[in-house]
Chains A and B, each alone.
Chain A
Amino acid sequence: MRLTLEIWRQKNGSDPGRFVTYEVEANEHMSFLEMLDVLNQGLIAKGEEPVAFDNDCREGICGMCGFLIDGQAHGPNHPGTVCQLHMRFFHDGQKLRLEPWRAAAFPIVKDLVVNRSALDRIIAAGGYNSVRTGSAPEANAILINKNDSDQAMEAAACIGCGACVAACPNAAAALFTGAKITQLSLLPQGQPERYIRVINMAGQHESEGFGHCTSIGECQAVCPAGIKIEVIARMNKDFIRASLKRRETTPPATISKSGSPYA
């Protein structure tokens, strides 16, 4: 099959960027990224610079890949990442437009590659249980209801790819943040830091320049890990309770971007 691709090319963060049109010959057995490999090999042969795109495991779990195909995060086959998308979902002569995640909090590095370190800083702000290495109690000492554990697992399945942000008209990372908060708040081990966690993570989310959630649901529709929007409801509930509990204390500490090693 022959495809026409309009791909966003941008040399670096200061280049304004533009769409460039390419033709590529593919077959239905290829993955979408293998099709781009073929395009890139052709570009190298012509002495042109290949299209930069992030990818690593190519099994849909590492969360490194992702871009928009005709405006859809990870393309038309949901749920799944773009590395798991195969060319049989496309037909000969089709024209596709590829562009990077678009969000103020995800500055473009090059072509389809963006900087998602804001998500790491949200986790650093509180996405953990503080437990010293070697100090944990016997694993079966605390029993956990299977239902809670299963729901925690569903939320924990988030791969941190950023598709939810790219799909959200407000560019909110609420699905991402809510997923981690939900996982930890469903488990007994997550209770001691439950409310400080939600305050700090939500505060970091805001300071990174992500928008607010207005319950549109686009995030859930594109999430390759099947995270449900109820994690945002759980986060909001905890946030309100936390705000009441913490009225007299100081505002949350956020991690600065400038002082960060990711700059």
Chain B
Amino acid sequence: MTDLNSKIPAGPLEKKWDEHKAHLKLVNPANKRKHTVIVVGTGLAGASAAASLGEMGYKVLSFCFQDSPRRAHSIAAQGGINAAKNYQNDGDSVYRLFYDTIKGGDFRAREANVYRLAQVSVNIIDQCVAQGVPFGREYSGTLANRSFGGAQVSRTFYARGQTGQQLLLGAYQALMKQVSAGTVVHHSRREMLELVVVDGRARGIVTRNLVTGKIESHVADAVVLCTGGYGNTFYLSTNAKGCNASAIWRAHRKGAFFANPCYTQIHPTCIPKSGEYQSKLTLMSESLRNDGRVWVPKKKGDHRPPNEIPEDERDYYLERVYPSFGNLAPRDVSSRQAKYACDEGRGVGPGGLGVYLDFGDGIKRLGKKVIDERYGNLFEMYERITGDDPHVVPMRIYPAVHYTMGGLWVDYNLMSSIPGLFVGGEANFSDHGANRLGASALMQGLADGYFVLPFTVSDYLASGGYAKVDTNHAAVKDAEREVQGRLDKFLAINGKNSVDHFHRALGEIMWEDCGMARSKESLTRALEQIPKLQEQFWSDLRVTGAGADLNQELEKAGRVADFFELAQLLCYDALKREESCGGHFRVEHQTPDGEAKRNDAEFAYVAAWEWKGADETPELHKEPLVYENIQLATRSYK
């Protein structure tokens, strides 16, 4: 077991980052243009990092698989972004945001990282406003705030229901400005398929040009991965169709440790699956639970239309089980209760996989006008998809995979266990512990990209110590050969079943056995079934078309092949974490009333896994979580 050095600076919590930053090495302005930095992914973290590094004078190569950097899935975030501005004079502070985030993560995140996140949150808002992000405002002209789950203050900044879109476009525009200035060279429709490691350092990537099929190599002095999470391992999720884990998984196979893969977030309010053809799930904002009441019929298999079920035959289970938080119980807790109700046979809609979110009482109490002011756009969206009007018929909702807190292990500088490989945003594991609070993902992506990576990458570049590398280097050629070999293999299998067939089957196993409730039995079963399915994938896959062309089936094949490997690590990590915390719920570890039971004595650590080979058990490296400033406590919502 190698020593996992998180490089958390010494000193008091509130001074760690400033002190550390003051001592990071700098690169002379004339030397900056001699350094090349690769940034993969153009979401909030990637676009902001690439723009900032380019602006500092480095030569930046930026990559995304979509047709434009503006498409990254950060764009779909609805609710908002947290910042400790205390504009509402409601007692907010950096410390309070820090504490809420640590507690929301069920005490499984690093203190120092989360404190830094809370500190720079205020700079993010300043930066975005200067860029022209049209945040919601009061009539007085000042910025408006709303409240969000897991906090007692109003600290969430928003741009209608499109906060992610507006923040991403701000970062994208900053990126395009650097493209125009010539410091960033951007490559769209390129997918990273391999990491190049030379002398133990990350020195480049191999990409496939998705239009021409050409395998291309790019070398640099440092590589930054901001490639998002791995929620699509479950096939159905709220992620975009193209979201994938190949970049981080390829890096993992080259030596980057993968931390806490079992921490996955399942969001309680999504539109349920309507049939076998379902391609993705759509989130309905958490805010709906402010005025909507969640219920299922008391009787099993009650197929009457919802409005014909009388009041006394309805079970408002969240209000019943959690009288003090009621319908506003946190995401992980609400999701699990919905599952319990459906498992008992009381679910509604096709397949019994749904619960009602009813606005009848809300409309009676507040009137249709007020409800429409609050949720009009969400009601329209729901009606557009389902054809039902939520004013008249209760919404049907069901939990869905939404976000992954785990990711590549990074130290305080956001550098992975491979020197020169940095990881930002959802792709790393660092700030959300075992559960992410609403409006914190946007904050973390931009904190990493604007305010952390530019300094820590500079420090690494200034430290030097690496030789010149070009694309003729043996390590580059080896990586290219590996990539080409894999692509050829997919095309040569010539089996019977499509990529989607296997991906859907993998997703079903993951959802059933490693979803909202996990047990030793279910995880062991998943770990037996996945390799079997994986074997079929490699022997019975059909990828049509050729490699020298836009070939969406070939793209998907590579992503799903990596999901198969990641899924096994995810289940293995879940099996080994013998406790329940945040999004990870082990049925063996619960309180008598069905709540998550942490085991701080044995599991207050980050599980960082090292790849040992395709048929080998991964090796566990533990980073103990040391809390110097807060007391570990039990979350209760009763």
Measuring CB to CB, which residues of chain A are less than 8 angstroms from any residue of chain B?
A: 11-12, 27-31, 33-34, 37-38, 41, 43-45, 47-50, 52, 54-64, 77, 80, 84, 86, 88, 109-110, 113, 115-117, 119-120, 123-125, 127-140, 142-146, 149-150, 152-153, 156-157, 159-160, 183-184, 187, 189-190, 255, 261-262
State in angstroms the CA–CA spacing of A156 and B166 once bound together. Answer: 7
Pairwise interchain contact B242-A56, C-beta atoms closer than 8 A: yes
Pairwise interchain contact A144-B279, C-beta atoms closer than 8 A: no
State in angstroms the CA–CA spacing of A199 and B275 once bound together. Answer: 51
> Counting CB contacts under 8 A, is B633 at the interface?
no
A137-B130, A144-B137 as given contacts; A48 in contact with B162, CB under 8 Å: no
State in angstroms the CA–CA spacing of A80 and B385 once bound together. Answer: 11
**Interface readout for B383-394 with A: 1 if CB under 8 Å, 0 if not?**
011010000000
Pairwise interchain contact B132-A152, C-beta atoms closer than 8 A: yes
Pairwise interchain contact B454-A48, C-beta atoms closer than 8 A: no
**Interface readout for B468-482 with A: 1 if CB under 8 Å, 0 if not?**
000000000000000
B545 → chain A, closest Cβ, in Å?
A: 5
> Counting CB contacts under 8 A, is B337 at the interface?
no
Pairwise interchain contact A86-B127, C-beta atoms closer than 8 A: no
- Total A-B residue contacts, Cβ distance less than 8 Å: 221
Chain A residues in 8 Å Cβ range of B73: 56-57, 62
> Please, could you name 28 A-B residue pairs with CB atoms under 8 Å apart, sorted by A?
A12-B550, A34-B277, A37-B277, A41-B498, A44-B544, A50-B552, A52-B550, A56-B66, A56-B240, A58-B280, A58-B282, A62-B71, A64-B71, A84-B385, A116-B67, A119-B68, A120-B186, A129-B130, A131-B174, A132-B55, A133-B454, A134-B451, A140-B87, A145-B141, A156-B134, A156-B166, A261-B179, A261-B185
A171 → chain B, closest Cβ, in Å?
A: 18
Pairwise interchain contact A156-B169, C-beta atoms closer than 8 A: yes
State in angstroms the CA–CA spacing of A152 and B544 once bound together. Answer: 46
B536 → chain A, closest Cβ, in Å?
A: 16
4 nearest interchain CB pairs?
A: A143-B141, A136-B130, A128-B173, A153-B134
State in angstroms the CA–CA spacing of A59 and B454 once bound together. Answer: 32
Within B252-279, which residues are at the interface with A (CB < 8 Å)? 274-275, 277-279
Pairwise interchain contact B162-A45, C-beta atoms closer than 8 A: no
Pairwise interchain contact B68-A86, C-beta atoms closer than 8 A: no
Pairwise interchain contact A146-B68, C-beta atoms closer than 8 A: no
State in angstroms the CA–CA spacing of A45 and B552 once bound together. Answer: 15
Within B189-230, which residues are at the interface with A (CB < 8 Å)? 211
> Counting CB contacts under 8 A, is B187 at the interface?
yes
A38-B277, A61-B76 as given contacts; A160 in contact with B70, CB under 8 Å: yes
Chain B residues in 8 Å Cβ range of A255: 180
Q: Which residue of A lies closest to B85 (CB)?
A: A139
**Interface readout for B115-148 with A: 1 if CB under 8 Å, 0 if not?**
0000000010111111110111111111100000
Pairwise interchain contact A120-B55, C-beta atoms closer than 8 A: no
Within B381-440, which residues are at the interface with A (CB < 8 Å)? 381, 384-385, 387
Pairwise interchain contact B142-A140, C-beta atoms closer than 8 A: yes
State in angstroms the CA–CA spacing of A125 and B173 once bound together. Answer: 10
Pairwise interchain contact B544-A47, C-beta atoms closer than 8 A: yes
Chain A residues in 8 Å Cβ range of B137: 144, 146, 149-150
Pairwise interchain contact A63-B71, C-beta atoms closer than 8 A: yes
Pairwise interchain contact A30-B550, C-beta atoms closer than 8 A: no
Pairwise interchain contact A130-B241, C-beta atoms closer than 8 A: no
State in angstroms the CA–CA spacing of A3 and B165 once bound together. Answer: 35
> Counting CB contacts under 8 A, is B553 at the interface?
yes
Pairwise interchain contact B544-A49, C-beta atoms closer than 8 A: yes
B126, B274, B542: the one contacting A139 at CB < 8 Å is B126
Chain A residues in 8 Å Cβ range of B139: 146
A61-B75, A132-B55, A189-B132 as given contacts; A143 in contact with B140, CB under 8 Å: yes
Pairwise interchain contact A48-B544, C-beta atoms closer than 8 A: yes
> Counting CB contacts under 8 A, is B160 at the interface?
yes
Pairwise interchain contact A63-B70, C-beta atoms closer than 8 A: yes
B55, B66, B129: the one contacting A64 at CB < 8 Å is B66
State in angstroms the CA–CA spacing of A144 and B136 once bound together. Answer: 10
Chain B residues in 8 Å Cβ range of A189: 129-132
State in angstroms the CA–CA spacing of A11 and B450 once bound together. Answer: 41
Pairwise interchain contact B242-A44, C-beta atoms closer than 8 A: no
State in angstroms the CA–CA spacing of A120 and B123 once bound together. Answer: 27
Pairwise interchain contact A50-B141, C-beta atoms closer than 8 A: no
State in angstroms the CA–CA spacing of A165 and B492 once bound together. Answer: 40
B129, B279, B384: the one contacting A86 at CB < 8 Å is B384
> Counting CB contacts under 8 A, is B188 at the interface?
yes
Pairwise interchain contact B180-A124, C-beta atoms closer than 8 A: yes
B52, B136, B173, B279: the one contacting A33 at CB < 8 Å is B279
State in angstroms the CA–CA spacing of A252 and B40 once bound together. Answer: 32
> Counting CB contacts under 8 A, is B526 at the interface?
no
State in angstroms the CA–CA spacing of A61 and B278 once bound together. Answer: 19
Pairwise interchain contact A131-B130, C-beta atoms closer than 8 A: yes
State in angstroms the CA–CA spacing of A152 and B137 once bound together. Answer: 12
Pairwise interchain contact B160-A153, C-beta atoms closer than 8 A: yes
> Counting CB contacts under 8 A, is B69 at the interface?
yes
State in angstroms the CA–CA spacing of A33 and B177 once bound together. Answer: 34
Chain A residues in 8 Å Cβ range of B282: 58-59
B445 → chain A, closest Cβ, in Å?
A: 14
**Interface readout for B346-362 with A: 1 if CB under 8 Å, 0 if not?**
00000000000000000
A34-B278, A131-B131 as given contacts; A49 in contact with B545, CB under 8 Å: yes
Pairwise interchain contact B451-A44, C-beta atoms closer than 8 A: no
Within B562-597, which residues are at the interface with A (CB < 8 Å)? none
